Amino acid sequence: MGECADVQAIHAMWREAVEQGGIGHTAGAFAILEEVARSGRRFGAPALESLALSTRASLLRQAGRHRDAAAIDGRALLVVSPTPPSSTAARRVTHRAAVLDAIVGLAADHLGQLHLDATRRLLARARSVVDVDDAGWPAGRRPRLRIEWVSAELAMYSDDAAAALEHAERGLHLCAIADTPRRHRVKTELVAAAAHAAAGQSQVAARAAAKVTDDARAGGLLPLEWAALALRHGLDPADHDVSAALLRARRLLTGHGVPFTDGRTAGG
């Protein structure tokens, strides 16, 4: 009973780190993730240690540090066994979630470095692992949604606007269920806006990105607000209000510990 309670407490810490990262408090998220990884090792919970590493990698990836993120996602995949545990159903779900987070994270890391073939291979691997019949969020719809995000971005980088729109639409469909977290809904709408931009539908993209900006701001999702502003700036560099808001958002994120690079970012 005590061991189960310990693992639950570690899982709760990981969720708190995810929330902190989602609102842009990256330094705080990093500190919590360090403790999650240590505790996962101490209590024999490799899936939670792996999730902590993958989450750290995702925060680095958001800042444009795809190579650094790839190294950490690689460690996350090594930490967790490819064979699911034979214990409780909850542990099997956490295990599958950890494996998929690492694989999809690696796909996004390679996309950000323009390693498109590697991204395709990793996405195919993720699709072979994900349980399409799992209607739950942690290891069912969540990883499937992340696969659609990265698939849409890969299609954009491959100049396949039709495929990007198709993957974005699949993502929106996965978000239609009520228990989908707000952050994932907003991110999916952002991916869809980018897909419309890639398809040359600039006005549709601009309206969608403006809505994402408002939704992200209302939810305190500063990283997504910044990303939506960046998309709008790309669509209309002459919009000085957007440029100023983009600069403010970046300064706030930097103050919260986001280790930005000056490179182009991609991946989800």
Domain-by-domain residue ranges, the chain? Answer: 1-129, 159-259
**What's the angle, vertex CA 137, arms to CA 169 and CA 39, rounded to 5?**
130
- 29 phi, psi to nearest 5 deg: -65, -45
**What's the angle, vertex CA 267, arms to CA 265 and CA 268, rounded to 5?**
125
Whether this model's pTM surpasses 0.85:
yes
Class of domain 159-259: mainly alpha
Tens digit of each residue's pLDDT, the chain (268 residues): 445 778 899 999 999 999 999 999 999 999 999 999 999 999 999 999 999 999 999 999 999 999 999 999 999 999 998 888 877 888 899 999 999 999 999 999 999 999 999 999 999 999 999 999 999 999 999 999 999 999 999 999 999 999 999 999 999 999 999 899 999 999 999 999 999 999 999 999 999 999 999 999 999 999 999 999 999 999 999 999 999 999 999 999 999 999 998 644 333 3
CATH of domain 1-129: 1.25.40.10
Residue 67's closest CA among 118, 17, 138?
Answer: 118
Distances in whole angstroms, Cα of residue 75 to Cα of each of 8, 38, 95, 200: 23, 14, 15, 39
CA–CA separation, 250 and 258 (whole Å): 9
Amino acid at 233: H
* Residue whose token pair is 């919009």: 239
What do you get for the CA distance between the two ends of the chain, in Å?
37
* Domains 1-129 and 159-259 belong to one CATH topology: yes
Count CB neighbours of 101 within 10 A: 28
